[in-house]
Amino acid sequence: MILRGNDLTSYLIMAFHAPEATHPDFFPLIVMDAVLSGAKGMGIFGGGGNNRSNRLYKALVDTQLAVDISSSYRPTIDPDLFSFYATLAQGVEHSQIEEAIWAEIAKIQQEGVTTSELTKGIKQTKAQFAYSSESVTYQAYWLGFSEVIATTEWLANWLEKLTAVTAADVQRVAETYFNQNQQTIGWYMPEQAE
């Protein structure tokens, strides 16, 4: 889908169907998201986001294809989306961004993730989880949120299930959910762009 408007900046969104929070593939996908664009807080509380050592930043921002790149996957009660968001650098074509994102997905599908990437992704996600549950208010939020999307048992086992994710799990979910025939892509282009 192509959308045109007055904003002079070009954007790209790429989305894939992904499972709900109670699905066994939820935690490997959370780790994949952390490897690609950094660990994030899981709810309205918590920080996170892009850091300069992740795969997408190195592949797109460091090479000056994009000025910003991120991926996103959150816990939900129903199947949802695993999404990529890019703000293109001036003069870069949308197809270049797609190719660069697909190159990173293909690397995970074919080669998996390194032990250090896996360890870092899990460690950073644990830190975001701890930050987003450090106060009584945050803990109450998590209890209510977990009861709505899953169960409080899901919350109680969260760290254990996250820690159990293996490199093989991340590679498997990359192969399962990321297929070019299953993607939805949106391009935003300035009106004056050809």
The predicted model scores a pTM of: 0.91
Query: 67-116 pLDDT, tens per residue?
Result: 999 999 999 999 999 999 999 999 999 999 999 999 999 999 999 999 99
Domains and CATH numbers, the chain: 2-190 (3.30.830.10)
Q: Which residue has the tokens 């870069």?
A: 92
Query: 132-168 pLDDT, tens per residue?
Result: 777 788 788 888 888 888 888 988 899 999 999 999 9
The whole-number pLDDT of residue 142 equals 83
Tell me the average pLDDT of the chain: 91
| CA–CA dist 22, 14 (Å, integer) | 24
Burial of 102 (0-12, 13-18, 19+ CB in 10 A): middle
Q: Which residue has the tokens 């945050």?
A: 138
Top pLDDT among 123 and 133 is at 123
Q: Are 185 and 7 in contact (CB under 8 A)?
A: no
